[in-house]
Amino acid sequence: MNYTIQNNDILIQNVTDLDLAQTLDCGQAFRWEQLEDGSYQGGALNKPLRVSLKESTLILHDTNESDLAFWAEYFDLDTDYGSLKACFAQHEILQKAVKFAPGLRILKQDKWEALCSFIISQNNNIKRIKGIIDRLCRCFGEDMGGGYYSFPTAERLAHHAVEDLSELKAGFRARYILDAAQKISSGTVNLEEVAQLPLEDARKLLMKITGVGVKVADCALLFGFYRIESYPVDVWIKRVNQHMFPQGLPTYVLPYAGIAQQYLFHYARVCPEAFAFVNQDK
């Protein structure tokens, strides 16, 4: 990885297959906002960041070199998306999905933050998910300066009662968030152990948490544990499957099904008219 430092910014050169809008605003992470100059403001866990992309140079603004490795990992810069996309292009609909958002990458997010975020995501829409997570961080996270609040730890949340979460306006999900925080902080569910288990066992362990079913567990595994073979099926992917993959995904996609899923999800959600299921079933 080539990088230089200018003033307080880190410039990473020769970054390919990345578009910030496609990656940060596709429903996999919920804490990023685009500023007027096109850069993105947000962060992960307790690290705030403003980031922009000029040509193939990724700019980490006002960032200390000690955080470079963290962000390179977060943006998954070591993975060869060219090869992945070439693989996906063997199938027509996947090729279209990739062409629609060729700069979409799967972020390597924190385990707890991803799990908690996707608990909140259930039966919800992305705009409101963002609002709830923003309030969660403001109410229970630490002030890191510059208007950024850390994602609250499970331990911190576990000390509260459901009534304390009422201002989040999370609705019926409030007790799910608390149960997750309590089971993680008590060790009933150990996220480091989840990371080591085979996919099915990892899923079962996560599902010990009230409010974590198959779909939320699969999203947590994909986005928080980088289990790219995990293929979360939500209402959009269900339609895509029925119309485009009635026999299931091609076998050559299976090892990377989660990445394919994100291209398909984004394409179907932003551009439903490209699919046959417009104004049909649900």
Judged by the rule CB under 7 A, the positions of this chain that interact with DNA are 26-28, 118, 121-129, 166, 169-172, 207, 209-217, 219, 232, 234-237, 261-262, 265, 269, 282
- Give the SS3 label for residue 18: coil
Q: Which helix (H) or strand (E) holds 81?
A: helix 81-88
Cβ closer to DNA: 15 or 129? 129
What is the C-alpha separation between 202 and 219, in angstroms, rounded? 12
What is residue 91's DSSP assignment? S
C-alpha distance from residue 125 to each of 37, 120, 121 (Å): 26, 10, 7
Please state at what angle helix 126-140 crosses helix 111-120, rounded to 10 degrees.
Answer: 130
* Residue 47 falls in the annotated catalytic set: no
Q: Which of 47, 96, 215, 238 is an active site residue?
A: 215
Closest approach, Cβ 69 to DNA, in A, equals 25
Angle at 152 between CA 146 and CA 155, to 5 degrees: 150
Contact 162, 172 (CB under 8 A): no
Closest approach, Cβ 109 to DNA, in A, equals 11
Cβ closer to DNA: 5 or 235? 235
Cβ closer to DNA: 10 or 114? 114
In the chain, the amino acid numbered 278 is V
Please state at what angle helix 214-224 crosses helix 199-206, rounded to 10 degrees.
Answer: 120
Closest approach, Cβ 127 to DNA, in A, equals 6
C-alpha distance from residue 107 to each of 187, 194, 262, 278 (Å): 26, 19, 11, 29
Closest approach, Cβ 253 to DNA, in A, equals 15
Cβ closer to DNA: 27 or 63? 27
Closest approach, Cβ 281 to DNA, in A, equals 10
Cβ closer to DNA: 69 or 162? 162
Catalytic residues: 215
